[in-house]
Amino acid sequence: MISLGKSRRMTKQRELILDAVIDRQDHPTAKDIFIQLSEHKIGLATVYRQLSSMVDEGLLLSFEHNGETRFDPLTSNHAHIICSQCNMIWDVNLPAGINRLEPSNGQIVIDGVDITWKGICQNCQ
């Protein structure tokens, strides 16, 4: 009975964490989610573990920016624009025809592309 209660709590926490990431468009870190859910008293390690398992399951994407792992609820192929001042990250669609630019060295089958443009956003100009 104890284990049932525990697994129920884990499921509830997992839902809260997933909803929190999906609600945000700013590609949060595990710490951002931890702070957002502070009233639910979910540990930072649990938040991180849950987010990592969601990435493994294909529910989220993750990428590194400035030495931090950012989580992304948009799992279709897309690019990012990052403000180099405030580190805000926006999603942008990849231009049509991007696949024609695929490089080939005869060694690797390309299965994805990771493109980031950088600039200064309106708030920081």
Binding site for Zn ion (CB under 5 A): 72, 74, 83, 85-86, 91, 121, 123-124
Minimum Å gap between C-beta 4 and Zn ion is 37
Strands (E), 21-101: 61-65, 68-72, 79-83, 89-92
Report the distance separating Cα 62 and Cα 43, nearest Å. Answer: 20
Token digits of residue 125 = 């100009």
- Name the strand (E) or helix (H) holding 55: helix 44-56
**Is 39 or 111 the residue whose CB approaches Zn ion more closely?**
111
Q: Residue 39 CB, nearest distance to Zn ion (Å)? A: 27
CB 11 to Zn ion: min, Å: 26
